[in-house]
């Protein structure tokens, strides 16, 4: 497993229910080639199907989250290859997961790495982390949501400032742009992300999945439509075992034990 471009481990103890998925190509600063993306998509899908995994932390190493797409491989890829090989499948998988995913970013998150981070539910970044969409510098544009997600989060002008210049931004600016949620001391991004994931893993699983689903629709739907989905989902959850357990635990002044039912 140590030499595979994607590895994972399940945490134990108070962090039980959290799976840490690590991109592991240090010699290439974790650049995404086709094999890495395929393995990552498979690991994420398998993790989502595993009922013992209630939250996922996606990370790289202390030098780089993902420095971009592997340009050496990209040089020989044709438009047909993209279609036939479904080279963006990992981003589709991330969008369709029910399990929440937290990106823990140290170092570089450029190109596909920035897109990968933004495809997660939120991002914990080391103080020195850098984010960028430099595709214009190699005759391309972002192709996996980098431009579209930035426009949604930061607005058209600030998104275009970043994408048209290709200039990276620091963690503080990335937080202002809506890319990053938390900034922590360098070297602690994964640790803090696991702590946050553990809290989510302890919450009622059906509710966590429902919140993620409603939030994803709220990004694109008109406000009235999003609120209607939120209200309907709220009402349906009244019929769950976990809702009854949560109320009774509150009345009994004890910790709730949620089963995902």
pLDDT the model gives residue 174:
98
DSSP secondary structure code for residue 203 in this structure = S
Please give the pLDDT value at position 70. 78
Are 106 and 129 spatial neighbours (Cβ–Cβ below 8 Å)? Answer: yes
- pLDDT at site 165: 97
% pLDDT > 70, the chain: 97
Residue 54 is given by DSSP the state: -
The per-residue pLDDT for range 142-161, each reduced to its tens digit, is: 998 999 999 999 999 999 99
Residue 175 phi/psi, 5-degree rounding, is -65, -40
User: Is residue 122 over pLDDT 90?
Assistant: yes
The pLDDT tens digits of the residues spanning 128-139 come to 999 999 999 999
What's the angle, vertex CA 130, arms to CA 82 and CA 219, rounded to 5?
60
pLDDT value at position 1?
A: 44
86/184: higher pLDDT? 184
Q: Tell me: pLDDT of 82 over 80.
A: no
pLDDT band at 85 (very low <50, low <70, confident <90, very high): low
List, in order of start, the domains of the chain with CATH numbers. Answer: 6-201 (3.90.226.10), 205-252 (1.10.12)
pLDDT at residue 14, as a whole number:
77
Please write the tens of the pLDDT for every residue from 43-65: 999 999 999 999 999 999 999 99
Mean pLDDT of the chain: 92
How far apart CA 228 and CA 218 sit, in angstroms, is 10
CA distance 95 to 247: 31
Q: How confident is the model at residue 2 (pLDDT cuts 50, 70, 90)?
A: low
Is pLDDT at 72 greater than 90 in this prediction? no
pTM of the entire predicted model: 0.92
Distance CA 187, CA 200 (A): 22
């Amino acid at each position: 497993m140590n030499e595979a471009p994607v590895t994972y481990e399940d945490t134990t103890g108070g962090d039980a229910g959290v799976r840490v998925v690590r991109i592991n190509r240090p010699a290439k600063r974790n650049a995404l080639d086709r094999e890495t993306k395929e393995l990552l998509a498979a690991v994420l899908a398998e993790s989502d199907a595993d009922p013992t995994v209630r939250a996922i932390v996606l990370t790289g190493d202390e030098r780089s989250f993902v420095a971009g797409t592997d340009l050496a491989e990209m040089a020989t890829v044709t438009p047909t290859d993209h279609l036939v090989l479904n080279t963006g499948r990992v981003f589709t998988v991330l969008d369709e997961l029910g399990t929440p995913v937290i990106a823990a970013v140290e170092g570089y998150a450029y190109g596909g790495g920035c897109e990968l981070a933004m495809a997660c539910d939120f991002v914990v970044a080391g103080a020195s982390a850098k984010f960028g969409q430099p595709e214009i510098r190699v005759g391309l544009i972002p192709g996996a949501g980098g431009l579209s997600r930035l426009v949604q989060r930061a607005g058209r002008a600030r998104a275009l400032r970043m994408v048209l210049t290709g200039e990276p931004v620091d963690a503080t600016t990335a937080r202002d742009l809506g890319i990053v949620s938390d900034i922590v001391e360098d070297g602690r991004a994964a640790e803090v992300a696991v702590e946050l994931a553990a809290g989510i893993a302890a919450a009622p699983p059906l509710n966590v999945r429902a919140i993620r689903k409603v939030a994803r629709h709220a990004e694109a739907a008109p406000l009235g439509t999003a609120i209607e989905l939120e209200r309907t989902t709220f009402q349906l959850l009244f019929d769950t075992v976990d809702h009854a357990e949560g109320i009774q635990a509150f009345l009994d002044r004890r910790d709730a034990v949620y089963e995902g039912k």
